[in-house]
Copies of this chain bind each other. A is one copy, B any other.
Amino acid sequence: MKVLITGGAGFIGFRLAKKLIELGELTAPSGAVEKIDEITLFDIGEAADIEDTKGIKVTRIAGDISDRATVSRLIDRDDISIFHLASVVSGGGEKDFDLAMRVNLDGAINVFECARARTGKPRVVMTSSIAVFGGQHMPEVVGDTVKQGPQTTYGVTKSIGELLTNDYTRKGFFDGRCARLPTVIIRPGKPNAAASSFVSGVFREPLNGEDFKLPVTADTVMQVAGYRSIVDGLIHLHELDGAKIGIDRAIMLRGYTVSAQNMMDALHRVAGDRTLGSISVEPDPFIVDICKTWPLDASYERAEALGFPCDSGLDEVINNFIEDYVDV
Protein backbone atom coordinates (compact mmCIF):
# COMPACT_ATOMS: atom_id res chain seq x y z
CA MET A 1 0.00 0.00 0.00
CA LYS A 2 0.92 3.67 -0.42
CA VAL A 3 0.99 6.31 2.31
CA LEU A 4 0.67 9.99 1.45
CA ILE A 5 1.74 12.52 4.07
CA THR A 6 0.81 16.13 3.32
CA GLY A 7 2.94 18.52 5.32
CA GLY A 8 5.59 15.80 4.95
CA ALA A 9 8.46 18.27 5.17
CA GLY A 10 7.16 19.49 8.51
CA PHE A 11 8.25 18.35 11.95
CA ILE A 12 5.45 15.85 12.64
CA GLY A 13 5.02 14.76 9.03
CA PHE A 14 8.69 13.92 8.63
CA ARG A 15 8.89 12.06 11.95
CA LEU A 16 5.73 10.16 11.00
CA ALA A 17 7.38 9.08 7.74
CA LYS A 18 10.43 7.80 9.61
CA LYS A 19 8.20 5.90 12.03
CA LEU A 20 6.20 4.35 9.18
CA ILE A 21 9.42 3.21 7.49
CA GLU A 22 10.48 1.67 10.81
CA LEU A 23 7.11 -0.15 11.09
CA GLY A 24 7.01 -1.11 7.40
CA GLU A 25 3.31 -1.87 7.46
CA LEU A 26 -0.14 -0.52 8.28
CA THR A 27 -3.67 -1.77 8.15
CA ALA A 28 -4.66 -1.34 4.53
CA PRO A 29 -8.00 0.15 3.46
CA SER A 30 -9.13 -3.48 2.91
CA GLY A 31 -8.65 -4.17 6.63
CA ALA A 32 -5.65 -6.47 6.10
CA VAL A 33 -2.21 -5.71 7.52
CA GLU A 34 -0.23 -4.76 4.43
CA LYS A 35 3.34 -3.84 3.60
CA ILE A 36 3.93 -0.18 2.79
CA ASP A 37 5.65 -0.06 -0.60
CA GLU A 38 5.45 3.68 -1.26
CA ILE A 39 5.50 6.82 0.87
CA THR A 40 4.99 10.28 -0.64
CA LEU A 41 5.99 13.31 1.38
CA PHE A 42 4.17 16.33 -0.02
CA ASP A 43 4.75 19.88 1.15
CA ILE A 44 5.16 23.44 -0.10
CA GLY A 45 8.91 22.80 -0.13
CA GLU A 46 10.71 19.52 -0.70
CA ALA A 47 11.21 17.34 2.39
CA ALA A 48 14.68 16.30 3.55
CA ASP A 49 16.02 12.99 2.32
CA ILE A 50 15.30 9.88 4.37
CA GLU A 51 18.09 7.33 4.59
CA ASP A 52 17.04 3.75 5.20
CA THR A 53 13.90 3.10 3.18
CA LYS A 54 13.89 -0.73 3.59
CA GLY A 55 12.88 -1.01 -0.03
CA ILE A 56 10.04 1.47 0.39
CA LYS A 57 9.89 3.94 -2.47
CA VAL A 58 9.98 7.38 -0.82
CA THR A 59 9.02 10.31 -3.03
CA ARG A 60 9.38 13.92 -1.95
CA ILE A 61 7.15 16.32 -3.87
CA ALA A 62 6.86 20.10 -3.51
CA GLY A 63 3.66 21.81 -4.61
CA ASP A 64 0.58 23.82 -3.77
CA ILE A 65 -2.12 21.89 -1.92
CA SER A 66 -4.74 24.41 -2.99
CA ASP A 67 -4.37 23.15 -6.57
CA ARG A 68 -6.79 20.25 -7.11
CA ALA A 69 -4.83 18.72 -10.02
CA THR A 70 -1.63 18.65 -7.95
CA VAL A 71 -3.40 16.84 -5.12
CA SER A 72 -5.08 14.45 -7.53
CA ARG A 73 -1.68 13.31 -8.84
CA LEU A 74 -0.64 12.44 -5.25
CA ILE A 75 -3.70 10.28 -4.58
CA ASP A 76 -3.14 7.94 -7.51
CA ARG A 77 -3.83 4.51 -5.99
CA ASP A 78 -6.86 2.90 -4.40
CA ASP A 79 -4.73 1.12 -1.78
CA ILE A 80 -3.68 4.36 -0.11
CA SER A 81 -3.82 5.90 3.33
CA ILE A 82 -3.51 9.65 3.72
CA PHE A 83 -2.16 11.61 6.64
CA HIS A 84 -3.25 15.18 5.95
CA LEU A 85 -1.02 17.39 8.10
CA ALA A 86 -0.36 20.32 5.72
CA SER A 87 -1.54 23.58 7.25
CA VAL A 88 -0.87 27.25 7.67
CA VAL A 89 -0.34 27.61 11.43
CA SER A 90 -2.02 29.93 13.93
CA GLY A 91 0.18 33.03 13.85
CA GLY A 92 0.60 32.65 10.10
CA GLY A 93 -3.14 32.44 9.57
CA GLU A 94 -3.72 35.57 11.65
CA LYS A 95 -1.30 37.47 9.43
CA ASP A 96 -2.68 36.10 6.13
CA PHE A 97 -6.36 35.16 6.28
CA ASP A 98 -6.60 34.38 2.57
CA LEU A 99 -3.60 32.06 2.65
CA ALA A 100 -5.09 30.19 5.64
CA MET A 101 -8.39 29.78 3.82
CA ARG A 102 -6.69 28.61 0.63
CA VAL A 103 -4.28 26.13 2.22
CA ASN A 104 -6.33 24.92 5.16
CA LEU A 105 -9.86 24.97 3.74
CA ASP A 106 -9.45 24.59 -0.04
CA GLY A 107 -6.46 22.30 0.54
CA ALA A 108 -8.42 20.00 2.85
CA ILE A 109 -11.34 19.86 0.43
CA ASN A 110 -8.90 18.96 -2.37
CA VAL A 111 -7.52 16.08 -0.30
CA PHE A 112 -11.03 14.97 0.65
CA GLU A 113 -12.37 15.11 -2.92
CA CYS A 114 -9.39 13.22 -4.34
CA ALA A 115 -9.70 10.56 -1.62
CA ARG A 116 -13.41 10.31 -2.43
CA ALA A 117 -12.56 9.77 -6.10
CA ARG A 118 -10.66 6.54 -5.25
CA THR A 119 -12.60 3.30 -5.09
CA GLY A 120 -10.76 1.89 -2.06
CA LYS A 121 -12.53 4.13 0.50
CA PRO A 122 -9.12 5.15 1.86
CA ARG A 123 -8.39 6.11 5.41
CA VAL A 124 -7.75 9.85 5.81
CA VAL A 125 -6.19 10.98 9.09
CA MET A 126 -6.29 14.76 9.41
CA THR A 127 -4.71 16.82 12.16
CA SER A 128 -6.95 19.30 13.92
CA SER A 129 -5.92 21.42 16.89
CA ILE A 130 -6.95 22.42 20.38
CA ALA A 131 -7.14 25.91 18.78
CA VAL A 132 -10.72 24.97 17.77
CA PHE A 133 -11.72 25.96 21.31
CA GLY A 134 -12.27 29.51 22.50
CA GLY A 135 -14.78 32.31 22.66
CA GLN A 136 -17.44 33.46 25.05
CA HIS A 137 -18.96 30.02 25.67
CA MET A 138 -15.70 28.13 26.34
CA PRO A 139 -15.75 26.27 29.67
CA GLU A 140 -12.58 25.97 31.80
CA VAL A 141 -12.03 22.38 30.65
CA VAL A 142 -12.32 21.61 26.93
CA GLY A 143 -12.72 18.22 25.27
CA ASP A 144 -14.48 16.12 22.66
CA THR A 145 -17.97 17.14 23.79
CA VAL A 146 -17.35 20.89 24.11
CA LYS A 147 -18.65 23.53 21.70
CA GLN A 148 -15.95 24.87 19.42
CA GLY A 149 -15.50 28.65 19.22
CA PRO A 150 -12.13 29.20 17.55
CA GLN A 151 -10.59 32.66 17.85
CA THR A 152 -8.01 32.29 15.10
CA THR A 153 -8.59 31.62 11.40
CA TYR A 154 -6.34 28.59 11.86
CA GLY A 155 -8.70 27.23 14.52
CA VAL A 156 -11.72 28.01 12.35
CA THR A 157 -10.33 26.05 9.40
CA LYS A 158 -9.49 23.13 11.70
CA SER A 159 -13.00 23.14 13.12
CA ILE A 160 -14.36 23.10 9.57
CA GLY A 161 -11.98 20.24 8.74
CA GLU A 162 -13.46 18.21 11.61
CA LEU A 163 -17.00 18.87 10.38
CA LEU A 164 -16.14 17.91 6.81
CA THR A 165 -14.22 14.79 7.87
CA ASN A 166 -17.32 13.68 9.76
CA ASP A 167 -19.58 14.34 6.80
CA TYR A 168 -17.42 12.74 4.12
CA THR A 169 -17.15 9.72 6.41
CA ARG A 170 -20.89 9.67 7.14
CA LYS A 171 -21.55 9.73 3.40
CA GLY A 172 -19.14 6.80 2.90
CA PHE A 173 -16.79 8.85 0.69
CA PHE A 174 -13.74 7.79 2.71
CA ASP A 175 -12.89 6.62 6.21
CA GLY A 176 -11.87 9.83 7.97
CA ARG A 177 -10.36 10.41 11.39
CA CYS A 178 -9.25 13.71 12.94
CA ALA A 179 -6.56 14.03 15.58
CA ARG A 180 -7.14 17.16 17.64
CA LEU A 181 -3.61 17.98 18.76
CA PRO A 182 -2.40 19.92 21.76
CA THR A 183 0.81 21.93 21.28
CA VAL A 184 3.37 19.37 20.20
CA ILE A 185 6.81 19.82 21.74
CA ILE A 186 9.79 20.07 21.34
CA ARG A 187 10.13 21.18 17.71
CA PRO A 188 13.74 21.20 16.45
CA GLY A 189 15.19 23.83 14.14
CA LYS A 190 13.92 27.35 13.71
CA PRO A 191 10.87 28.94 15.36
CA ASN A 192 7.76 28.78 13.14
CA ALA A 193 4.84 31.16 12.70
CA ALA A 194 2.62 29.35 15.22
CA ALA A 195 1.66 31.51 18.19
CA SER A 196 2.69 28.51 20.29
CA SER A 197 6.19 28.39 18.77
CA PHE A 198 7.66 29.61 22.07
CA VAL A 199 6.56 26.41 23.80
CA SER A 200 9.32 24.60 21.91
CA GLY A 201 11.74 27.54 21.85
CA VAL A 202 11.80 27.79 25.63
CA PHE A 203 13.49 24.36 25.71
CA ARG A 204 15.29 24.28 22.38
CA GLU A 205 17.12 27.59 22.41
CA PRO A 206 18.60 27.24 25.95
CA LEU A 207 19.60 23.60 25.22
CA ASN A 208 21.40 24.86 22.11
CA GLY A 209 23.20 27.42 24.25
CA GLU A 210 21.13 30.34 22.99
CA ASP A 211 19.37 32.92 25.13
CA PHE A 212 15.57 32.92 24.79
CA LYS A 213 12.98 35.62 25.25
CA LEU A 214 9.78 34.03 26.56
CA PRO A 215 6.97 36.06 24.91
CA VAL A 216 4.36 35.23 27.59
CA THR A 217 4.07 35.47 31.35
CA ALA A 218 5.30 32.53 33.48
CA ASP A 219 1.78 31.62 34.61
CA THR A 220 0.53 31.12 31.03
CA VAL A 221 -0.84 27.59 30.72
CA MET A 222 -1.27 25.37 27.70
CA GLN A 223 -1.94 21.75 26.78
CA VAL A 224 1.13 19.99 25.41
CA ALA A 225 2.33 16.54 24.38
CA GLY A 226 5.66 15.13 23.26
CA TYR A 227 6.19 14.45 19.57
CA ARG A 228 6.90 10.75 20.01
CA SER A 229 3.51 10.03 21.60
CA ILE A 230 1.75 12.25 19.04
CA VAL A 231 3.31 10.39 16.10
CA ASP A 232 2.36 7.10 17.76
CA GLY A 233 -1.11 8.55 18.35
CA LEU A 234 -1.60 9.38 14.67
CA ILE A 235 -0.76 5.80 13.73
CA HIS A 236 -3.00 4.48 16.52
CA LEU A 237 -5.84 6.62 15.14
CA HIS A 238 -5.26 5.24 11.65
CA GLU A 239 -5.34 1.67 12.93
CA LEU A 240 -8.38 1.99 15.22
CA ASP A 241 -11.61 0.16 14.41
CA GLY A 242 -13.81 2.88 12.93
CA ALA A 243 -16.90 1.55 14.72
CA LYS A 244 -15.20 2.26 18.05
CA ILE A 245 -14.70 5.89 17.05
CA GLY A 246 -18.35 6.37 16.09
CA ILE A 247 -19.78 9.15 13.95
CA ASP A 248 -17.73 11.91 15.58
CA ARG A 249 -14.37 11.15 13.99
CA ALA A 250 -12.38 13.86 15.80
CA ILE A 251 -10.57 12.87 18.98
CA MET A 252 -8.42 14.95 21.32
CA LEU A 253 -5.05 13.22 21.32
CA ARG A 254 -3.71 12.89 24.84
CA GLY A 255 -1.72 15.74 26.35
CA TYR A 256 -1.46 17.52 29.68
CA THR A 257 -1.64 21.05 31.04
CA VAL A 258 1.58 22.87 31.98
CA SER A 259 2.54 26.47 32.70
CA ALA A 260 5.51 28.33 31.22
CA GLN A 261 6.99 28.15 34.75
CA ASN A 262 6.60 24.33 34.74
CA MET A 263 8.53 24.28 31.46
CA MET A 264 11.42 26.36 32.78
CA ASP A 265 11.55 24.29 35.98
CA ALA A 266 11.59 21.00 34.05
CA LEU A 267 14.30 22.27 31.73
CA HIS A 268 16.60 23.14 34.61
CA ARG A 269 15.77 19.86 36.37
CA VAL A 270 16.60 17.72 33.33
CA ALA A 271 19.55 19.76 32.06
CA GLY A 272 21.68 18.87 35.10
CA ASP A 273 25.11 20.37 34.54
CA ARG A 274 24.57 21.27 30.87
CA THR A 275 25.28 24.87 30.04
CA LEU A 276 21.96 26.47 29.13
CA GLY A 277 21.20 29.74 27.40
CA SER A 278 19.29 32.10 29.67
CA ILE A 279 15.52 32.70 29.57
CA SER A 280 14.08 36.17 30.03
CA VAL A 281 10.36 36.77 30.39
CA GLU A 282 9.41 39.44 27.84
CA PRO A 283 5.68 39.23 27.01
CA ASP A 284 4.79 40.10 23.39
CA PRO A 285 1.24 41.51 23.13
CA PHE A 286 0.57 39.71 19.79
CA ILE A 287 1.38 36.31 21.34
CA VAL A 288 -0.17 37.12 24.73
CA ASP A 289 -3.47 38.05 23.08
CA ILE A 290 -3.63 34.72 21.25
CA CYS A 291 -2.70 32.78 24.41
CA LYS A 292 -5.57 34.44 26.28
CA THR A 293 -7.96 32.68 23.90
CA TRP A 294 -6.57 29.24 24.82
CA PRO A 295 -8.34 26.88 27.26
CA LEU A 296 -7.14 26.51 30.85
CA ASP A 297 -7.43 22.74 30.91
CA ALA A 298 -8.55 19.79 28.79
CA SER A 299 -9.95 16.31 29.26
CA TYR A 300 -8.89 13.36 27.15
CA GLU A 301 -11.47 10.76 28.20
CA ARG A 302 -12.21 9.40 24.76
CA ALA A 303 -8.55 9.03 23.79
CA GLU A 304 -7.85 7.31 27.11
CA ALA A 305 -10.75 4.89 26.59
CA LEU A 306 -9.55 4.18 23.04
CA GLY A 307 -6.04 3.31 24.21
CA PHE A 308 -4.09 6.26 22.83
CA PRO A 309 -0.51 6.63 24.07
CA CYS A 310 0.68 9.49 26.27
CA ASP A 311 4.16 10.38 27.48
CA SER A 312 4.88 10.75 31.20
CA GLY A 313 5.47 14.50 31.11
CA LEU A 314 7.93 17.28 30.39
CA ASP A 315 11.00 15.50 31.78
CA GLU A 316 10.56 12.58 29.38
CA VAL A 317 9.91 14.93 26.47
CA ILE A 318 13.04 16.98 27.18
CA ASN A 319 15.14 13.81 27.47
CA ASN A 320 13.75 12.56 24.15
CA PHE A 321 14.58 15.85 22.50
CA ILE A 322 18.14 15.76 23.82
CA GLU A 323 18.51 12.20 22.51
CA ASP A 324 16.95 12.94 19.09
CA TYR A 325 18.21 16.42 18.33
CA VAL A 326 20.86 17.73 20.74
CA ASP A 327 23.34 14.94 21.47
CA VAL A 328 23.61 13.74 17.87
Contact = CB atoms under 8 A, between A and B. Distances in A.
A247 B136 contact: yes
A213 B235 CA distance: 50
Contacts of A145: 137, 147
A144 B137 contact: yes
Contacts of A151: 170, 247
A164 B156 contact: yes
Interface in A242-280: 246-248
B147 A148 contact: yes
Interface in A221-247: 246-247
A184 to B, nearest CB: 24
A145 B137 CA distance: 6
Contacts of A135: 166, 247-248
A164 B150 CA distance: 10
Contacts of A149: 166, 247-248
A48 interface: no
A146 B148 CA distance: 9
Total copies of the chain: 2
Contacts of A156: 163-164, 166-167
Contacts of A146: 147
A163 B166 contact: no
A159 interface: yes
Contacts of A160: 160, 163-164
A54 interface: no
Contacts of A248: 135-137, 149
A153 interface: yes
Interface in A151-209: 151, 153, 156, 159-160, 163-164, 166-167, 170-171
A247 to B, nearest CB: 6
A211 to B, nearest CB: 35
A149 B164 CA distance: 11
A97 interface: yes
A97 B171 contact: yes
Contact of A246 (B136, B170, B171): B136
Contacts of A148: 147-148, 163
Interface of A: 97, 135-137, 144-151, 153, 156, 159-160, 163-164, 166-167, 170-171, 246-248
